[in-house]
């Protein structure tokens, strides 16, 4: 009898511990701060080298950045890993191929150094020497094979060329062979930057130039011809989701470049949420593309992650979708995060 009583007491104690743990542990975790589960794929680093480069190119002063301050801010917002991309400089860099090659190499080695010091907190997309093709091919090999970058970082346009331009075909062939991730960041295109002279380029032209390069990739046949490239577009694809019907209608007349229609290609692309974590932009995007194609991006340090994450939480998506956007989709896409 005494053995039965002792056994029952042990059972009740174990149940009590489990119940208490179920109640207390979540409270402790909440008290410790936000869960660190977010991957930020749109994260610009402004190192001292980058700030000096920007000053030499006549670009307005870039904000200060340090690894210690960055990690402190990431912890505060629940960000596990930020994927570095250097601020856009490609069309503002003085000089020719040599200057672009040196800029890309220095940027990538500095990014790799940051990642090497904190590989669980930082990854990086490698800069290129575009619009110079041979230099870019060499840098792709070095960045992916030696520095172990998670992908390649391109602007949406270079002068009067967008990413589907025939001049860039050797680069697309190589990226397709590698099955590379290509993160694109918009530019103010040479054609249109000053159409509204009193409006900053990021207000209108950034979203519009992303749309131009998506159209370029589709209607040049590049997206269909090189299906192993995984394109990741900033800012929920710019204005492209609003134009998908026009894209799709046009593609019906051009089966050679989009046999299944533009919509099928747009649904294969990936998109980040930077500056679009609202019910209008993200609400439309999530109706257009599979939820596995949407990744969180903050556009830090110009915009803060915390308010954008809070906005996504408030859009009424189911918990699985929110978790996928916050980090699950990025971990499935980027090789350095799959472990």
What confidence score (pLDDT) does residue 94 get? 65
Domain made up of 35-337: CATH architecture: Alpha-Beta Barrel (3.20)
Nearby residues of 79 by Cβ (< 8 Å), 6 or more positions away: 36, 38, 39, 40, 73, 305
Task: Convert the pLDDT of each residue in 71-102 to its tens digit.
Answer: 999 999 999 999 999 876 655 666 789 988 98
CB count, 10 Å around CB of 116?
11
| Sequence spans of domains, the chain | 1-32, 35-337
Task: Convert the pLDDT of each residue in 19-71 to its tens digit.
Answer: 344 344 333 433 445 678 999 999 999 888 777 777 776 666 678 888 999 99
Confidence of residue 339 (pLDDT cuts 50, 70, 90): low
Asked if residue 93 lies in contact with residue 58, where contact means CB atoms within 8 angstroms, the answer is no
What confidence score (pLDDT) does residue 125 get? 97
Round the average pLDDT of the chain to a whole number and report it. 87
pTM attached to this predicted model: 0.87
Higher pLDDT, 136 or 62: 136
Ramachandran quadrant class, 78 (left: phi over 0; alpha: psi -120 to 50; beta: rest): left
What confidence score (pLDDT) does residue 92 get? 60
């Amino acid at each position: 009898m005494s053995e039965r009583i002792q056994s029952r007491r042990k059972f009740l104690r174990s149940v009590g511990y489990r119940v208490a743990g179920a109640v207390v542990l979540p409270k402790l975790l909440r008290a410790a701060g936000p869960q660190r589960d977010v991957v930020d794929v749109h994260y610009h680093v402004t190192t001292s080298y980058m700030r000096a480069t920007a000053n030499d190119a006549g670009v307005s002063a870039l904000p200060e950045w340090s690894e210690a301050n960055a990690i402190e801010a990431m912890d505060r917002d629940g960000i596990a890993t930020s994927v570095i991309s250097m601020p856009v400089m490609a069309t503002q860099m003085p000089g020719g191929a040599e200057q672009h090659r040196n800029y890309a190499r220095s940027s990538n080695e500095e990014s790799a150094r940051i990642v090497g010091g904190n590989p669980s907190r930082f990854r990086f997309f490698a800069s290129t020497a575009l619009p110079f093709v041979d230099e870019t091919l060499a840098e792709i090999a070095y960045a992916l094979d030696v520095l172990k970058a998670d992908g390649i970082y391109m602007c949406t346009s270079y002068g009067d060329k967008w990413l589907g331009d025939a001049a860039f075909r050797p680069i697309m062939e190589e990226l397709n062979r590698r099955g590379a991730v290509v993160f694109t960041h918009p530019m103010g295109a040479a054609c249109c930057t000053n159409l509204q002279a009193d409006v900053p380029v990021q207000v209108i032209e950034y979203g519009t130039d992303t749309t131009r390069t998506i159209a370029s990739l589709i209607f040049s046949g590049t997206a269909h011809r090189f299906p192993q490239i995984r394109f990741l577009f900033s800012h929920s694809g710019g204005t492209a989701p609003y134009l998908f019907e026009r894209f799709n209608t046009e593609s019906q007349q051009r089966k050679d470049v989009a046999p299944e229609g533009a919509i099928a290609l747009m649904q294969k692309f990936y998109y980040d949420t930077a500056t679009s974590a609202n019910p209008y932009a993200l609400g439309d995007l999530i109706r257009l593309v599979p939820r596995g194609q949407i990744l969180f991006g903050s556009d830090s340090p110009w915009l803060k992650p915390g308010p954008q994450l809070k906005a996504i939480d408030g859009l009424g998506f189911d918990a699985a979708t929110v978790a996928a956007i916050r980090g699950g989709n990025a971990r499935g896409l980027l090789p350095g995060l799959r472990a």
